[in-house]
């Protein structure tokens, strides 16, 4: 994961992105890239019009360009086929707060096939009483799957929540070898 961008610059600048999609076992996955790297990953979106609407004011313009995102889509396809356990994609991570950035950075370090609790991440970001805030930050993850927020579970071992829905979280965890 790249070093933290200047937060005020990240909020002020809106990139032009290119986007495309891939059919996966969890349904279509849309991705958008900027000149700096992977900008957005979304599932649960059914078509291009809805995806562009979802990007909303975060971007200056969104251009359909399957070829431009083919490298990202190839890695995602390999992930869903069980052939990729670590992504090698430059990231353009623009998040509103330092706390959210630190939470996502820690989630990005959870290895394939492993999980970590919300409380463990809270401790790692020097906010040991902020388990719920960690969940909120993970819920705003613009790069799910690539930044594997699905690998974060409750301290008691239950799977907890997931913005994309529990069925998708369970599917991703099963794909990585977990019995859920």
Distance CA(139)–CA(159), nearest Å, equals 14
Nearest to 54 by CA among 19, 9, 4: 19
149 is catalytic: yes
Single out the catalytic residue among 149, 153, 172, 175.
Answer: 149
Length in residues, the chain: 180
Q: Which residues are catalytic?
A: 149
């Amino acid at each position: 994961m790249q070093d933290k961008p200047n937060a005020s610059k990240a909020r002020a600048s809106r990139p032009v992105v290119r986007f495309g999609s891939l059919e996966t076992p969890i349904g279509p996955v849309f991705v958008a890239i900027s000149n700096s790297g992977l900008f957005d990953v979304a599932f649960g979106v059914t078509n291009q019009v809805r995806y562009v609407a979802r990007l909303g004011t975060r971007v200056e313009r969104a251009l359909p360009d399957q070829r431009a995102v083919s490298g990202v889509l190839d890695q995602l396809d390999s992930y869903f086929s069980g052939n990729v356990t670590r992504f090698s994609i430059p990231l353009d991570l623009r998040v509103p707060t330092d706390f959210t950035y630190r939470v996502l950075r820690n989630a990005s370090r959870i290895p394939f096939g492993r999980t970590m609790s919300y409380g463990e991440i809270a401790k790692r970001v020097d906010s040991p009483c902020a388990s719920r805030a960690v969940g909120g930050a993970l819920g705003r993850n613009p790069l799910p799957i690539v930044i594997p927020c699905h690998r974060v579970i409750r301290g008691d071992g239950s799977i907890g929540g997931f913005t994309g829905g529990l069925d998708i979280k369970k599917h991703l965890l099963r794909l990585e070898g977990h019995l859920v």
